């Protein structure tokens, strides 16, 4: 990428802002969380099959990138019905080719409109391999996604690194699951993976601090509440300056559990903060959103 394009996608959210204003936004998010957590429910929490099959939450996690989250998390149940059970043996029997064909069939009418053909091909190449390699690894270790954890308390960092070993689990997904297991440990928000681990290991719990996973939804909502309307979010999410700023802001808003910011921004991004036409008048963050204020001022 040229340095001009890099500059164009730079997100100078903090420059010229008063610290009082930054702090006010962080405090608003903290105060709003108790209400938001009841309203902003991620799709995986509501899908019954994810509570019933030990491999389903992990397969859903591996699938959950680029495509719509609801579709990713519903794939394990569809696959289970298609092959008559979701086990490492059945998946190994399919092989990478068979799994790819089924994934392609499932997503035939579900690809997001914004996904390029080359990205679809890349997804169909990588995801079946990741699922297969992960099943093989778990089988070799003689554990399932639920029994890979012992009956004890873990730090979020331990969980992150245990998950990162698995093929197909990058930093973002490992942080996402560590955060969900932590939120479930605190009885803030349920999660199927946590419910399954806890059923086998009643002492299982995740504590400690982990920084939020950074994805397109997080950078978009973060930048917009500081007045930045549009950027190439896929590029912006890799800006190391912005990542560090979001991490610092998340610690200001939620000193005990900074990853909470991802839970809010991801859900707001998905439900309200649409790329082309954000639903600002209904958005729970419009009170602190500089972009929404600019938009309203320009329409009056």
Contact residues: ligand SF4, CB under 6 A: 221, 224-225, 268, 272-273, 278-280, 283, 285-286, 289, 291-292
CA-wise closest residue to 42 among 233, 168, 193: 193
Name the helix (H) or strand (E) containing 288: none
Q: Which is nearer to ligand SF4, 134 or 286 (CB)?
A: 286
- Closest CB 162 distance from ligand SF4, rounded Å: 34
- Closest CB 273 distance from ligand SF4, rounded Å: 3
34: how many CB neighbours lie within 10 A of its CB? 9
- Closest CB 233 distance from ligand SF4, rounded Å: 12
135: how many CB neighbours lie within 10 A of its CB? 22
Q: What is the CA radius of gyration of the chain?
A: 20
- Closest CB 222 distance from ligand SF4, rounded Å: 9
Q: Which residues of 53-74 are buried (b: 16+ CB within 10 A; e: fewer)?
A: bbbbbbbbbbbbbbbbbebbbb
CA–CA distance from 55 to each of 49, 60, 131, 267 (Å)? 10, 9, 10, 25
Tokens of 299: 């329409």
- Closest CB 131 distance from ligand SF4, rounded Å: 34
Q: Which is nearer to ligand SF4, 103 or 285 (CB)?
A: 285
Q: Which is nearer to ligand SF4, 17 or 126 (CB)?
A: 17
Q: Which is nearer to ligand SF4, 43 or 284 (CB)?
A: 284
Q: Distance between CA 10 and CA 4 in Å, rounded?
A: 10
- Closest CB 229 distance from ligand SF4, rounded Å: 8
Q: Which is nearer to ligand SF4, 12 or 78 (CB)?
A: 12
- What single string gives the DSSP state of each residue in 114-146? T--HHHHHHHHHHHHHHHHHHHHHHHHHT--TT
Q: Which is nearer to ligand SF4, 197 or 228 (CB)?
A: 228
Tokens of 45: 């929490």
């Amino acid at each position: 990428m040229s340095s001009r394009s890099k500059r164009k996608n730079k997100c100078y959210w903090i420059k010229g802002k008063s610290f009082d204003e930054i702090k006010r936004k962080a405090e608003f998010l903290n105060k709003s969380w108790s209400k938001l957590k009841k309203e902003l429910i991620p799709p995986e929490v509501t899908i019954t099959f994810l509570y019933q099959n030990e491999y389903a939450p992990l397969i859903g996690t591996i699938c959950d990138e680029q495509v719509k989250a609801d579709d990713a998390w519903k794939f394990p149940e569809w696959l289970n019905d298609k092959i008559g059970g979701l086990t490492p043996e059945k998946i190994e029997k399919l092989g990478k080719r068979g799994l790819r064909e089924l994934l392609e069939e499932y997503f035939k009418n579900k690809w997001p409109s914004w996904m390029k053909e080359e990205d679809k091909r890349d997804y169909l190449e990588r995801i079946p391999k990741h699922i297969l390699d992960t099943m093989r690894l778990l089988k070799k270790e003689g554990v399932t996604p639920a029994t890979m954890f012992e009956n004890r308390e873990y730090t979020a960092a331990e969980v992150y690194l245990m998950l990162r070993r698995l093929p197909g689990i990058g930093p973002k997904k490992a942080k996402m699951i560590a955060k969900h297991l932590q939120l479930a440990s605190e009885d803030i928000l349920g999660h199927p993976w946590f419910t399954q681990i806890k059923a086998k290991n009643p002492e299982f719990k995740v504590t400690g601090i982990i920084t939020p996973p950074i994805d397109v939804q997080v950078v978009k909502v973060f930048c917009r509440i500081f007045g930045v309307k549009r950027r190439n979010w896929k590029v912006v999410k890799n800006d190391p300056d912005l990542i560090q700023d979001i991490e610092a802001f998340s610690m200001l808003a939620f000193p005990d559990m900074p990853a909470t910011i991802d839970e809010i921004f991801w859900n707001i991004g998905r439900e309200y903060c649409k790329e082309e036409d954000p639903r600002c008048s209904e958005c729970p963050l419009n009170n602190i959103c500089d972009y929404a204020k600019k938009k309203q001022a320009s329409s009056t």
